[in-house]
Amino acid sequence: MVKHNNVVPNIHCHKKYCQSSRGPLKVRLSLDQATKKKSRRLARAAKAAKIAPRPLQLLRPAVHCPTQRYSSKVRLGKGFTLEELKSAGLTARYAQTVGIAVDHRRTNKSAESLALNVARLQEYKTKLIVFPKKRLSKVKNGDSTAAECKSATQFDGTILPLAGPSGEIVMADIPKQEVSAFTTMRLAMKETKVEGDRASVANRKEK
């Protein structure tokens, strides 16, 4: 029975912390967290060994974040557009076989972003090592030489990462202004304040 101005007891004792005749265990435990971490690491290593000497990640484009608040930030996107691949002399089907991500839904909204991603593709093509198919006895056009294929190693980081913005401000790069905007606004504000007083003084002098 509740006495005085206290809270009405309404506790819920329905959690089963041990499996018994009342039912199975209903509390989710994470006792396998370390084991799962190890299994994920081994799975990544097995995948890397399976696709070697292919890189672990795909080449991603440089895109601007959505909305006006974050549009100035540049990050890696999902995939290159069909227009970017065409400008770089690639097809979508061939690009997916050499480690280039393709996104057929994204479109280019400016010439600057198109030129930037085409430059990324061109740089990637200069560093690309294409192995010839094993069933072919001779090297096709576009394949790398035997020496390049022999010296190829697996790359496990981000392919062509974006350069971070430099936090240094060089005063020499800032153009000098002969007219200060702050001074102009301050003088305009003062002139507006005293405009009424000057008009009243002028009226008194005329009378």
10-residue mean pLDDT series, the chain (207 residues): 83 72 71 95 94 92 96 95 97 95 96 96 94 70 81 90 80 78 93 90 85
Name the residue among 48, 93, 94, 57 with its Cα closest to residue 78. 57
Say how far apart CA 161 and CA 77 lie, in whole Å: 12
pLDDT of residue 68: 94
Give the closest residue to 61 by CA, choosing from 35, 38, 90, 24. 90
- What's residue 84's pLDDT? 97
Interatomic CA distance for residues 38 and 32, integer angstroms? 10
Amino acid at 75: R
pLDDT, residue 146, reads: 79
Q: Which two tokens stand for residue 28?
A: 């989710």
190: phi then psi, degrees, rounded to nearest 5: -65, -40
How many helices (H) and strands (E) are present in the chain, helices listed first? 7, 2
- Asked whether the beta carbons of 85 and 117 are under 8 A apart, the reply is no
What's residue 2's pLDDT? 77
**Hey, how many other C-beta atoms are within 10 angstroms of the C-beta on 128?**
15
pLDDT given for residue 81 in this prediction: 97
Single out the residue of 121, 16, 118, 109 nearest to residue 58, CA to CA.
121
